[in-house]
Amino acid sequence: MKTKDSKIKVIDLFCGIGGLTHGLIKEGLDVVAGIDNDSSCKFGYEYNNKIQFIDKDILKVTAEQINDLFGKEKGIIRVLAGCAPCQPFSKLNLNNITKKQLEPLGKFAQLITQTQPDIVSMENVSDLAIEDKYPVFKSFLKTLENNGYNYKYEIVDVSEFGVPQKRRRLVLLASKFGEIQLIKRTHKDKKITVRDVISYLEPIKAGEISKKDPLHRSRKLAPINLQRIKATPHNGGNCESWSKELMLECHKKESGKTYRGSVYGRMCWDKPSPTMTTQCIGLGNGRYGHPTQNRAISLREAAIFQTFPEYYQFSDPTKPIQIGKVAKFIGNAVPVRLGSVIGRSIKEHLSKNYEERR
């Protein structure tokens, strides 16, 4: 068995701002390129990772381009990784999926067939694993089987790997060298909490920007929403405690009662945060209220919950921060620590299963 002198090269499809890439780099993997059709990710991806960002629609990426990026050096272990856009498979989009939205995952499978990477990594929303609902996933698995891969996928709560966030994701690993799976849970019995990671930050008000950290800023609240957050009990409270005048009209209806606990709520200090989304800095978009301060979480806090290091730049520091765009970068990202877990899982697999090819 030999991996020390072998090079693990990775291409990150659907790379976004680089959460997965950065985690893989932290584990010593050589990511050679990231590919995404959102050109606004280019600065952050290249600045933080020192890796080429290719601005291209995945549907236009060719096998020749992938093979050229991997190169022809002997002894290379080729890893094709990616998180196809997950919005089509979210619970909010159950009945509105179009054929076009499924194409990126189908293209990922096609590139696997055409380029035959040694290892495949795929991360997506947990609902994708419901095979009778999403035949495209069943087809993806069939592609792996037909091309000689051993694979395993599982639904993981990333908080069990030390991400301070409750986030259920499907993670798949496939290999031509033998059985492959994620490493054992590192934080199954001791979750990292909201208090653990953001309690040190200086207090700020709604609409305020920290003088020490330009990313530690929260959105300004409309007067009615400021009243609502002030009326929300600290440390996990929600709109159930509001007076009737503060209650949203839709929540007064019988059909809206089930949603009361899922929006306009505060986080709990001693639990992981809720799932970060592209709307995670909006008070009315989930339980994104600060545990004690009268505001929604800041961009810095969202980045911390996604385990981005403090030095990570999401946009050109010489230009004004576009708060909505940065929130989108953060919410769409693979948590950096999950990227590290995937990288470590690949390395452990190779240390047990890789035999240098002749």
Catalytic residues: 86
In sequence order, what E strands does the chain have?
7-13, 30-36, 52-55, 76-82, 119-125, 150-157, 168-175
Structure tokens at 190: 């001791």
CB of 116 within 8 A of CB of 49? no
Q: Report which of 94, 121, 138 is spatially closest to residue 10, judged by C-alpha positions.
A: 121
Query: For the sheet containing 30-36, what is the strand order?
Result: 52-55, 30-36, 7-13, 76-82, 119-125, 168-175, 150-157
HEC per residue, 165-188: ECCEEEEEEEECCCCCCCCCCCCC
Which of the 8 DSSP states describes residue 284? G
Q: Report which of 295, 280, 285, 264 is spatially closest to residue 201, judged by C-alpha positions.
A: 295
Kindly report the backbone phi and psi dihedral angles of residue 82, in degrees, each rounded to the nearest multiple of 5, phi listed first. Answer: 180, 155
CB of 314 within 8 A of CB of 213? no
Q: Checking DSSP bridges between strand 30-36 and strand 76-82, what pairing results, if any?
A: unpaired
Q: Report which of 56, 87, 16, 85 is spatially closest to residue 329, judged by C-alpha positions.
A: 16
| Buried/exposed code over 300-327 (b: 16+ C-beta within 10 A; e: otherwise) | bbbbbbbbbeeebebbeeeeebebeebb
